[in-house]
Structure 1
């Protein structure tokens, strides 16, 4: 088991490195766009009395490129750099390149600094995770627990639950942004029911507020986002587990258990559930990445300062260090979910190798 764990972790680490490297190289191909966005606009320079001559603009561009670390080649090999090189000719750039610098810092636990604010990427990601981890973790836990309860309820009483099944199928067909906007219109709208706020979580987590007042206010702001994410993940988990349970309840061992006098609920819990979980465990590998991706929609809809909103803003502003750091974190979470699913499958059925 230890050897298996080592090789799985090694493959996971290599896959995360390859993913982050690909995102880094592809994103930094637009380095000129990042430089333009990082410079003050011409109208702003004129308003502040800055020099706006072409020579001054070129000097400002060179200084900005140097500050962002974009004044060196992108990779170890390239088709530019030395003045003596022929245009289009591949040559060796040496270790003084953007990728080598990023990889060296990554091995030392540093993700660089934001192009927009100059803050450390690690600090910005940590601050965003304080909102995203409780959001996605709570939604994942609620979705799994509710799916287990609903699937056992539906499988134990297969007739007369068409309305509930239809509601789950209809909910599964709705995009997440429709669910989020529907909750906002129903429960955070003065025209209907203004039970919950639609924004303002930054004020709810103000350090100056009393802790006894801060926690209820925080939970009040997080209720609708958690419900939105839970409702988006619940139907698929429930319908899959229900179908697997119904298939297991039709097998010979379930019939034998009933013949021994066991109630249907006991047959489900003690005999059918563990076998039915095997196909559903594969969904856990998709659940966490789906919730992280859904957090982008939910955090934008509810104005939450989490990972999803941070990555969306970083992509729009070409803030490559933040974008690459976020992709690295999300990729690691997805591959970790795959690893956990593999070991849960081994636990559920030791015959799997």
Structure 2
């Protein structure tokens, strides 16, 4: 009994030590990511301030209109009131200090808090980007797997050519062609916007109307990424299907569907997850063009408006929020890594 108790106590101590070590490792990782996130946010602020200071035009035109440009005294008063007469490094430090206190500033043009202008547009942008991304990843991966299982068939070459063409076409051109074809020539989908004015007030009616408006912009945003993910998944799947463990699974008599979708696809998804995590920022930048083309009430159209009008606080708020989205996407990518490939957990816990 004494020996068994000592053995059990030793095992408990080992498990407790391993748990403490894992918690400490997790805390170090979280702390490192917080530091990197703060550094990234500071870099976004500095770079944006520098770029906007080098851009042509006078910010007083956005604040005071024509009076702020024509009247020198009015322009100087506006600069003094908004702190635009201070050195650039002082402006950056002041803005960073406000961000730490949760104050994103006041929009020059809209004359309202930046967060109040941004908050209603977060949902539409996340809806558009999320639907486009999920559809592109799922459809692109399935197409890649389908063509990888039949690499010498005609359908495989057709999908490859279509993917290359889709990847080469600019998103604004795709959007305009879809509007001309499916909203003007054949009025199946609405031209733009997010909701119709004549739709009912019920939840399901509103949701169905939003999804109907979402079809064309989501397809426009996702078709380029669908082409890329189909090519990537095809190449990754061809490599995995030639692995030894896949040949061993076939030799054991497992069904081809089980070998492909249960064993091979899991490893083939790793490079796809990598691309999804690193390209989330590109997806948000592509949403700017799509939202302008389809008049989608998201952050993209607001960012375009703030660039045109030199609304520095509003543009900075949108960029900081976009950077936060990218950081969250990278963290989610790392978590998905751990689910797909257990070897990552093993290496990191050693």
| TM-score (ref. length: structure 2) | 0.83
Deviation at 1:142, TM superposition (A): 1.3
**Partners of 1:205 and 1:139 in 2: how far apart?**
26
Structure number with higher helix proportion? 2
Partner of 1:168: 163
Partner of 1:284: 276
Output one character per residue of 1:177-216: Cα deviation in whole Å (capped at 9) or x when no partner: 1221121111011xx211111124365599x945454332
**Partners of 1:201 and 1:273 in 2: how far apart?**
36
2:135 to 126, 142, 160: 142
Deviation at 1:74, TM superposition (A): 2.5
Deviation at 1:102, TM superposition (A): 1.0
* DSSP 3-state at the match of 1:201: coil
Partner of 1:194: 187
Partner of 2:43: 18
After TM superposition, the structure 1 stretch with the greater mean CA deviation from structure 2, 307-316 or 16-25, is 16-25
After TM superposition, the structure 1 stretch with the greater mean CA deviation from structure 2, 143-152 or 210-219, is 210-219
Gaps of 5+ in 1: 46-51, 76-96
* DSSP 3-state at the match of 2:111: coil
Change in CA separation of 1:289 and 1:213 when aligned onto 2, cut-off 3 Å: same
Partner of 2:231: 239
Partner of 1:303: 295
Deviation at 1:28, TM superposition (A): 4.0
1:182 to 166, 174, 177: 177
**Partners of 1:104 and 1:26 in 2: how far apart?**
20
After TM superposition, the structure 1 stretch with the greater mean CA deviation from structure 2, 331-340 or 110-119, is 331-340
Partner of 2:102: 109
**Partners of 1:210 and 1:261 in 2: how far apart?**
54
Mapping of 1:69-80 within 5 angstroms? 69-75=83-89
The answer as to whether partners of 2:140 and 2:230 remain within 8 angstroms in 1 is yes
**Partners of 2:277 and 2:127 in 1: how far apart?**
19
Deviation at 1:218, TM superposition (A): 1.9
* DSSP 3-state at the match of 2:103: coil
**Partners of 2:339 and 2:202 in 1: how far apart?**
45
Partner of 2:6: none
**Partners of 1:210 and 1:332 in 2: how far apart?**
33
The answer as to whether partners of 1:188 and 1:197 remain within 8 angstroms in 2 is yes
| TM-score (ref. length: structure 1) | 0.82
**Partners of 2:143 and 2:57 in 1: how far apart?**
53
**Partners of 2:286 and 2:328 in 1: how far apart?**
18
The answer as to whether partners of 2:196 and 2:209 remain within 8 angstroms in 1 is no
**Partners of 2:338 and 2:307 in 1: how far apart?**
39
Output one character per residue of 1:213-249: Cα deviation in whole Å (capped at 9) or x when no partner: 4332222222111111121211111111111111111
The answer as to whether partners of 1:205 and 1:218 remain within 8 angstroms in 2 is no
**Partners of 1:18 and 1:204 in 2: how far apart?**
42
Change in CA separation of 1:296 and 1:204 when aligned onto 2, cut-off 3 Å: farther
Count matched residues.
318
The answer as to 2:319 corresponding to 1:327 is yes
